[in-house]
Amino acid sequence: MKLPPFGKQFQPVPSSGVRVAIGPGAWNLQKKHHVPIIVLPDDANPEDFEWPSDSKPALIHERGTYDDSRLGAVAEALLRAGASSVVAIREALLNEDDPRVFYDAEVMDVTA
């Protein structure tokens, strides 16, 4: 099996675990973040990939639509791959520039 897009960035898996973006906004989310994020293409089956885990946690960012069955399938694939836990952030309907989702030191005053 092959790694999902950007999966090589998680070899080795950091102690914080892996981050996965799903949904129609996943590719834009991956480009915007300053940390690596694996992208699951909308037309791909999560079971078709070898997910990096090393018994570390996984975080799923759902972007662009709410899809309970898709989210469940991705979580199940990550757990089967050995993830110690899976947490989902359902940011599907939020704007990409929403400050509740993205905190950026360039935008926020962190000198205080």
**Domain extent for 54:** 7-90
Q: Tell me, what CATH number does 84's domain have?
A: 3.40.1010
Euclidean distance between CA atoms 85 and 78, whole angstroms: 8
Is 96 part of any domain? Answer: no
Q: Which of 101, 75, 93, 96 is nearest to 29 (CA)?
A: 96
Residues 6+ apart with CB under 8 A from 59: 17, 18, 19, 20, 86, 87, 88, 89
Token pair of 47 as six digits = 């079971």
pLDDT higher than threshold 80 for residue 110: no
Is 38 part of any domain? Answer: yes
Is 43 part of any domain? Answer: yes
Is 31 part of any domain? Answer: yes
CB 74 within 8 A of CB 20: yes
Only one residue has tokens 């993830």, namely 83
Greater confidence, 91 or 63?
A: 63
Residues 6+ apart with CB under 8 A from 109: none
Is 104 part of any domain? Answer: no
Which tens digits make up the pLDDT trace of 74-99? 999 999 999 999 999 887 666 556 55
Euclidean distance between CA atoms 81 and 56, whole angstroms: 10
pLDDT higher than threshold 50 for residue 103: no
Q: How many structural domains are present in the chain?
A: 1
Which tens digits make up the pLDDT trace of 26-35? 998 888 877 8
Q: Which helix (H) or strand (E) holds 52?
A: none
Is 40 part of any domain? Answer: yes
Is 60 part of any domain? Answer: yes
Euclidean distance between CA atoms 9 and 86, whole angstroms: 19
User: Whole-prediction pTM value?
Assistant: 0.81
Is 70 part of any domain? Answer: yes
